[in-house]
Structure 1
Amino acid sequence: MVKIGSIELRHEPLLLAPMEDVSDLVFRSMCKEFGADLLYTEFVSSDALVREIEKTQKKLTLSDTERPVGIQLYGKEVEALVEAARIAEAVNPDLIDLNFGCPVKKIAMKGAGSGMLRDLPLMLKITSEVVKAVKLPVTVKTRLGWDEDSKVIVELAEQLQDVGVAALTIHGRTRAQMYTGEADWELIGAVKNNPRMHIPIIGNGDVNSPEKARAYFDRYGVDAIMVGRGSIGRPWIFREIRHFLDTGAYLPPIEIDEHVDLIARHLRNTVEWIGERKGILHTRRHIAVTFKGLPNFREIKIKLLQSNSLEEIEQLLAQVKQKYAGFTYSATPHNSDEQ
């Protein structure tokens, strides 16, 4: 069993990563349905939350069916993050997570997200003050360092533990790498196997198949694994990984009927949640990758990604089901290193 504060998770838990425009209420609920043990919201701007921006406040909407769930915050000012943490705590999540890992230029170059890796005293000050400001467990997600010459994670992990974080998630790349190259799980393992560390260490990066999850648990001893881009368009990856972890056997690839029905449900629920235009835009990222492996799919895919009509997309999805009736994937989609 893995404990984060008072949250108890099963042995070898699987977590859904906080991803902007991905980890919304609808997608989180689907990942929970397929066995994700702990979910995180999209990252929430502390400044926007303090300013009561409606779009940001909507990200705090949680459902009891998705618990345990954490709200992830980002920013660069101590006072704003402390106030945002208190606001987030008021909607009753199970934990607060601080984002010190987002590599996106518009965030990192302003000193937030992974930009904090260039100002470790400020990162530690923010973390300490947020821990003191709320009663919920506070966790952190970060990277190995800013670049190849500043991989500070082993020492930084100890410092974050010392100021009170309840768990630490490490993405196995530097900010300079963005999402290129392979994640360095050796350094994640070095943090986990540091005898001074006693909080749960969660590994993240390139988890897009059951065999990778099994290998990362076995080789590096992490307490939990966080799945990010490998879940996009494929919330059932949690079911596939859990079955493999528990039995050592693969589940059969998803059937085309179930596949289409899930994407259609995801689309409808997202449209109901945030409206047709925004719902379609949110779902496009999933549609762009979800049918990988279908032969001669390019023409339908282009139509799916260009459509701005819920009715038209549903008709196209019905065509997919009809055209590929009886189709069996030769291998589980997305088992490449592209995630």
Structure 2
Amino acid sequence: MDTLTQAALGAAVGGAVLGRRLGRKAIVIGAVLGTLPDLDVFLDYGDAVANYTQHRGFTHSLFVLTGLGTLLALTADRFAPARDIALRHWWAFFVLCLVTHPLLDALTTYGTQLWWPMDVRPSAWPVVFIIDPLYTLPLLAGIGVALVTGNGRRGPAWGLALSSAYLLFAMGAKILVEQRLEPVLAEQGLQEAPRLIQPTPFNTLLWRVTIIDGAQHHETLLSVFDGNREPTFETFDRGGELEPTALAFERGERLHWFAGPFLRYEIRDLEGEETLVATDLRLGFPGFHAFSFTLAVREDGDWRPAVPTEQLSFDARADLDALGQLGSRIFSPEPPLCTSEFVADRWVVDTPASC
């Protein structure tokens, strides 16, 4: 999630745990702790792919943060001014302010390495977009009440309750979408295909569905207001024939570890060289994918590893008015929003007749 939301979450948790005893200090300390895991953005791991896949790494590990929180609790219990605060309350304060950050991150699409240093893929159960005002505003309101009144607990506790209720609503909305999707996938023989269901920007009412089908991927949008309307899929090429070449390189393997099969491969002419580029299909939107990376260059007919660099991946025909169209699509499936209109023709394989 964004920095403001993480600071607000840490502040609200801090107030809810020790606001009665520490007052406004619990809010301030909680906000600092809530942003601490994201300091890894200032670390350079060597190249663009490493920076991309190491973000939300060890600084988001539940093991590391629990250990850090325990150390801080022991320090506060030993050196903080005399207060009627038991060690277990210090421990709950520091650990919860820290670990709620990666737990919230894990509810977004990017992926969070909760179990570092275990070599498992990042955890991602996307039910909220990385910026969602309806989640953040209750936290900010609760913090504001605490800062104005000096009662560090009541406002943050209410803010946490409302924001948590919103997450429960988001989970329910996703389950509803999944239930509508299952029979359609079964009918098309795609029930076992890798799938990603995630909210579209700034809301939990309209959901983007991505299905990986070999060298292609299918996309559709489903709103909680669609009723029994059957979803229709648009099909895109993802350059699957280039996947073995990409996976032959260390950075290609790393990207696959991070994003799974939700990658598109293409050959671009960059500075006069044929360059193999991988794009993360999970993040962004068709035509607006945010992250693409160079993996290799072709020299004398052979592929050689390249120093990974990040490339602009927006298609030339992309139009930011799509955000407004997404908003309209939430409440009505007509007229249909066809994502293929934002994507270069070379990627489009099949679209429904309505497009």
* TM-score, with structure 1 as normaliser: 0.26
* TM-score, with structure 2 as normaliser: 0.25
| Larger-gyration structure (1/2) | 2
